[in-house]
Amino acid sequence: MATPEERKIVIIERKDDAAPASGASSSAPSEEPRGAIEEITSSVRELAKTLPESIGKLPGSIGAAIQQALSSRDLSVTAHLSEDAMRSIEMLVQAGIFANRSEAATYLIGEGIAARRDLFEQVTEKIIQIEKLKSELRSLTGRA
């Protein structure tokens, strides 16, 4: 993933098929491509302004899940991710769904836990069994 310093600015130009008129200067840029770029930039800015409000209006529980994931963050963790996972997180940030990678990762982790709720229920049962066995062993040695 490119760092902010490594990201490059892309300049969009439209080349007309026809050659410039004989009296026209070839070095003067047309106002039309610049207007198109400004229009795109304006549209992107407008989308970015309305995105936070739009998240809450997403269909089903997606918007609510995003808001819940972002509001309940109070602990941090460092994780090493695969390139595919990082690309997916970056995609969510670039699309403007999340403000940063941390928010995107928080949401995805929450969704993964919710999707595997059955696994966590089984793990919880096993942990309870392990704690009971440990307690029994401590009782046998008088260290209860």
Tens digit of each residue's pLDDT (9 = 90 or more) over 71-86 = 666 788 889 999 999 9
> Which tokens belong to 19?
């050659």
- Within-domain flag for 18: no
Q: How many domains does the chain have?
A: 1
- Within-domain flag for 87: yes
The per-residue pLDDT for range 107-121, each reduced to its tens digit, is 999 999 999 999 999
Residue 82 backbone phi and psi in degrees, to 5: -75, 165
- Within-domain flag for 48: yes
The boundaries of the domain holding residue 83 are 31-116
Put simply, whether the predicted model's pTM sits higher than 0.75 gets the answer no
The per-residue pLDDT for range 11-42, each reduced to its tens digit, is 444 444 444 444 444 444 455 556 777 777 77
- Within-domain flag for 66: yes
Question: Do residues 131 and 122 lie in contact, with contact meaning Cβ atoms separated by under 8 Å?
Answer: no
- Within-domain flag for 21: no
Q: How far apart are the first and last CA of the chain?
A: 53
- Within-domain flag for 136: no
Identify which has the larger pLDDT, 12 or 91.
91
